[in-house]
Chain A
Amino acid sequence: MSLVAQLPVLPIIVPLITAPITLLLPKGRPAWAWATLISWLTFATCAWLLKEVADGGTISYFLGDWAPPLGIEYRIDLANALILLLVSGIASLTFPFAYRSVQLEVDEKQTPLFYGALLICMTGLLGVTITGDAFNVFVFLEISSLSTYALIAMGARRDRRALTSAFNYLVMGTIGATFFVIGIGLLYQTTGTLNMADLHDRLLGQDNRMVQAGFAFILVGVALKLAMFPIHLWLPNAYTYAPSAVSVFIAATSTKVAVYVLIRFFFSVFNFDFSFLGAAFQYVLLPLGLAGMFIASFVAVFQDDVKRMLAYSSVAQIGYMLLGLSFATVEGVTATLVHMFNHALMKGALFMAVACVVLRAGSHSINAFAGLSKRMPYTTWAFLISGLSLIGVPLTVGFVSKWYLLQAAFSAGHWYAGFLIVASSLIALVYIGRIAEMMLLREPATEGRYVIPKKDAPLSMLVPMWILVAANVYFGLRTDLTGDLATRAAEALMLTAGGAP
């Protein structure tokens, strides 16, 4: 019973047990300090897990020592170890960052609830990622979603539209989760098992109406959760009106985890002999990914609210991930995994910069950004560097993602997709350029709503933000770190699914 043997369950059990304790702590600083500590602990265990998996291969942990397929299995391979590290890493930066922002945006007596809910949200996302049991995915997905609804609604103190957007998210999210659970039910009816590895074995060679229906339900359900292009409507409002710290966390993690679920089900549960999988790639993910890249980017250009603009940009970036996935090659899946990781870094940093502006200017309207470089230079440059990363400028992670995507597009024979990736990046240049022009070239407002004191964000916010910005550059230079892990993960996934190497 050494600690190492129990390591895989720690990222779940620690925050799950400590989150309720947060509620009992005094409001304000103690609750925050406690939650921050837990997030760091979780990050440490996840980093350790990634190291163990990278060195020693896939880890399988039997919950309660009940062997799968009867018991619940936590199964950690490279793909989900990477996502675990990502989610816990963003959390460990969001918690210290959140303190000042939450002070401003959330009622003080609600702070223990806020931090508790954020911990639960993190637990849910980690749980979705770590588990090897299909129904467990649903449970954790709902754990994270329910806490997200509550967290978004807490933005109501600043803007009451947070309530309606949380409600819309709740309706869409619940429909998505219910579709997902219907799909799981159909697969269970066919195979009599819920363990993913076991499902994979028993679905080999099965291509009947029931499996097809189950696949379709799972695809649509998860697509709602990850805000695939035409069913993304809950996302912009939710991201816009949520408290800034919540926007940072969910924009960087929750949709990525949903994309991961899609990857996991496509490659580790279904296989390439299953005719619907190829059809889904060709007729659903490819066109909708491309459409999302363009239409959502285009809509982003015309937004006067910076948070909403970034939210639409997120929808567009999910388009890139789905596009990479739809190539159904090792290169494509690698590109998706790399982009999930990189997009979390850049969107996290961008939303953090907006949160800093909200702290000083009290608004996330584009007008609040006028002349920002003269008022908050550190925040301005953090926004600019991560914005460049979003566009895909060399020396940043955005370039690495786009590079992998382009390679995948050309090697899969979709040369037109390659051009479209570049073209949609140019749209990103327009919407980021619009903000950059406001920040660098305009004079700061001297009167009216958007007057900003000449004072940058506090250190507790600048440090986490600049860590993310530095990561944007670091992983842009050291491409071997993420690229290598992602390639190995993608190879393992494709091998399981029986696709072309």
Chain B
Amino acid sequence: MDNWLVFIFERYNYWIVITLMMTGLYTVFARGNLVKKIVGLNLFQTSVFIFYITIGKITGGTAPIYIGGELDHGGGHEEAPIHDADTSAHEMSETAADGAASLHAKIDNAHGNDLKEALKNAPQDGDAAAIHAAPNHLDGAKISNDVLSSADKHAASGGFDIATQHAPEAGHGAADAAHAGTDAIHHATEVIYSNPLPHVLILTAIVVGVATTAVGLALAVRIREAYGTIEEDELEAIDDVAEFGETEGVAA
């Protein structure tokens, strides 16, 4: 039963797409008013926009750019993020305190409430720990450990045991910290990546959609000028009368 709920709620964006799509299509077919048809058409197209935005989010993906001189490969669309997350956890563990810094990156891509809650307490302490005092590092590590384990369970189990062990040695200085911080940011961004390409595609589709709407509404205006109505039934009746004469039109 739980699995069912998870299955449904994890894919909430797809449900929105399906609902909008069906609502739009139904409106197009069921409504006799031409402007309402256009509204339905727009709803239908909007569902596709949301669908494209959905496919733009790639778990474990990254932009096709070079990081640190070697090709960082993670653009796979179906690859599980576990592998990348593991390595990221390892690297973070070397300077455990900086785990807090990596939170910034994670928060940018935040997708869970856990992370938002983590945001409330973690950064201030963690930052302070990383930059200022070595003795505080242990605390920083602890906090970041807590935070990260709630955020990313795969990563935490492997990485942060080591993290706590190495924490005292880890606090070497700001430079080290900064370096590892950027590393962590790079790896953290791999967790959920927003692929810009579908967004660009959908911008194109929006332009097409706006153009279609404009042409459709312009046609509706012209139809109203020519017939004096934009109700489909009345339009048909008027055409029937024009074609077959008044009596037959009424009889039909």
Contact = CB atoms under 8 A, between A and B. Distances in A.
Contact of B239 (A135, A149, A161, A178): A161
Interface residues of A, number: 30
Contacts of A149: 215, 219
Interface string A136-163: 0011001000100110010010001101
A167 B34 contact: yes
B34 A181 contact: no
6 contacts: A138-B208, A139-B208, A174-B41, A181-B48, A182-B51, A188-B55
Given A164-B223, A167-B220, A192-B75, A146 B205 contact: no
A189 B201 contact: no
A190 interface: yes
Contacts of B116: none
Contacts of A142: 208, 211-212
Contact of A164 (B25, B198, B239): B239
Interface string B188-202: 000000000010010
Contacts of A146: 208, 211-212, 215
Nearest to B216: A170
A185 interface: yes
Contact of A181 (B77, B205, B212, B227): B205
Given A146-B212, A171-B37, A178-B48, 10 more contacts: A135-B201, A135-B204, A160-B226, A163-B222, A167-B216, A167-B223, A174-B216, A175-B25, A181-B205, A185-B48
A166 interface: yes
Contact of B41 (A153, A171, A194): A171
B144 interface: no
Contacts of B239: 161, 164
A175 B28 CA distance: 9
Nearest to B215: A149
Contact of B222 (A153, A161, A177, A189): A153
Contacts of A135: 201, 204
Q: Which secondary structure dominates chain B's binding surface?
A: helix
Contacts of A182: 48, 51
Interface string A314-344: 0000000000000000000000000000000
Interface of B: 25, 28, 34, 37, 41, 44-45, 48, 51-52, 55, 75-77, 198, 201, 204-205, 208, 211-212, 215-216, 219-220, 222-223, 226-227, 235, 239
Given A153-B222, A163-B223, A164-B239, A178 B216 contact: no
A189 B204 CA distance: 18
B48 A174 contact: no
Contact of B51 (A156, A185, A191): A185
A75 B212 CA distance: 28
A124 to B, nearest CB: 11
A167 B235 CA distance: 12
A201 to B, nearest CB: 15
Given A178-B44, A182-B48, A170 B198 contact: no
Nearest to A160: B226
B219 A170 contact: yes
Contacts of A188: 55, 198, 201
Q: Which secondary structure dominates chain A's binding surface?
A: helix
B51 A163 contact: no
B227 A160 contact: yes
A185 B52 contact: yes
Q: List the 6 closest A-B pairs by CB distance, nearest first.
A: A160-B226, A189-B55, A142-B208, A163-B223, A167-B219, A192-B77
Contacts of B201: 135, 185, 188, 194
A190 B78 CA distance: 8
B41 A175 contact: yes
A166 B231 CA distance: 15
Contacts of B219: 149, 153, 163, 166-167, 170
A45 B240 CA distance: 47
Contacts of A153: 219, 222
Contacts of B52: 185
Interface in A295-314: none
Contacts of B48: 178, 181-182, 185
Which residue, of A146, A163, A182, has the highest number of chain B Cβ atoms within 10 A?
Answer: A163
B84 to A, nearest CB: 17
Nearest to B221: A163
Contacts of A166: 219
A494 B236 CA distance: 47
Contacts of A181: 48, 205
Interface in A191-237: 191-192, 194
Contact of A190 (B41, B77, B211): B77
A128 to B, nearest CB: 14
A171 B77 CA distance: 34
Contacts of A139: 204, 208
Contacts of A194: 201
A27 to B, nearest CB: 20
A66 B212 CA distance: 30
A178 to B, nearest CB: 6
Contacts of A150: 215
Nearest to A170: B216
A74 B77 CA distance: 26
Contacts of A185: 48, 51-52, 55, 198, 201
Interface in A165-187: 166-167, 170-171, 174-175, 177-178, 181-182, 185
Contact of B212 (A174, A189, A190): A174
Contacts of B235: 164
A170 B212 contact: yes
A68 B36 CA distance: 42
A230 to B, nearest CB: 15
Interface in A258-287: none
A29 B70 CA distance: 62
Given A160-B227, A164-B223, A171-B37, A189 B77 contact: yes
Contacts of B198: 185, 188
B208 to A, nearest CB: 5
Nearest to A136: B204
Nearest to B238: A160
Contacts of B208: 138-139, 142, 146, 177
Contacts of B215: 146, 149-150, 170
B228 to A, nearest CB: 11
